[in-house]
Amino acid sequence: KAGVTQTPRYLIKTRGQQVTLSCSPISGHRSVSWYQQTPGQGLQFLFEYFSETQRNKGNFPGRFSGRQFSNSRSEMNVSTLELGDSALYLCASSLVAGGPSTTNTGELFFGEGSRLTVL
Amino acid sequence: AQTVTQSQPEMSVQEAETVTLSCTYDTSENNYYLFWYKQPPSRQMILVIRQEAYKQQNATENRFSVNFQKAAKSFSLKISDSQLGDTAMYFCAFIHYSGAGSYQLTFGKGTKLSVIP
């Protein structure tokens, strides 16, 4: 079974540009979450999508947006890039959306991430 | 607010020795789940071990075990017989309900573990 696939793996942009990152979840997984990882702040939650609907959003400015398609693939977009947006962006998928239970481990399956450098 | 604190930014251990990584969390919920995730250098994050708060018995997975102290809100990870492949960032995480049917993981800032030959 293929894992979570993120593209591109590495990219370099300049301030003011925009970027789109893609995430293909594990087949059958309908929930996709995005996290930003930086050395200083650690892992911070961006947003979560389930069945093409954003159900939860972290404390990030409106420049960060996302969407999910009917096949559960997700994209996130960052507009008007700033130097501080340089980070590893991680996508994670999970089987169900109802949270952990005796039948659902609540485990997230992560991709390898997209490393964004803003110059 | 839900918070997770890992007080040890970096640790090292000799191969074959035992090491314990600390984690404390803060929540007002009674039923929740805690996780330890491992992120090897330049590789994807994977789940190491999971603990349900309603279970008093500490979870174990081969060489990995936890010491879950619910009253103290403490969730430490013990790695026995450390191996070179255990070198990684370790993140403690807490899953909580964030509304609208959505669950969210809150992570600690991580502990960088180096296993020394």
**Given B47, B100, B108, which is nearest A56 (Cβ)?**
B100
Q: B-chain residues within 8 Å CB-CB of A66?
A: none
Tell me what the mean pLDDT of segment B44-53 comes to. 91
pLDDT on residue B105: 81
Q: To the nearest whole angstrom, how far is the Cα of A16 from the nearest Cα of chain B?
A: 28
Q: What is the total residue count of chain A?
A: 119
Tokens at residue A100, please? 């952990």
Q: A-chain residues within 8 Å CB-CB of B33?
A: 100, 106
Quick: pLDDT tens for A35-89. Answer: 999 988 889 999 889 889 998 888 999 999 999 999 999 999 999 999 999 999 9
Quick: pLDDT tens for B67-77. Answer: 999 999 999 99
Helices in B25-102 by DSSP H: which ranges? none
Average pLDDT, chain A: 90
Q: Please, which residues have CB within 8 angstroms of residue A10's CB and are 6 or more apart in sequence? A: A114, A115, A117
**A16-25, A59-68, B45-54: which range is least confident on average?**
B45-54
Tell me what the mean pLDDT of segment A28-35 comes to. 91
**Given B35, B43, B100, which is nearest A55 (Cβ)?**
B100
The DSSP secondary-structure symbol of A83 reads G
Tokens at residue A117, please? 């450098």
Q: In what order do the strands lie in the sheet with A5-7?
A: A5-7, A19-24, A74-78, A64-68
* Residue B5 in contact with partner chain A when CB distance is under 8 A: no
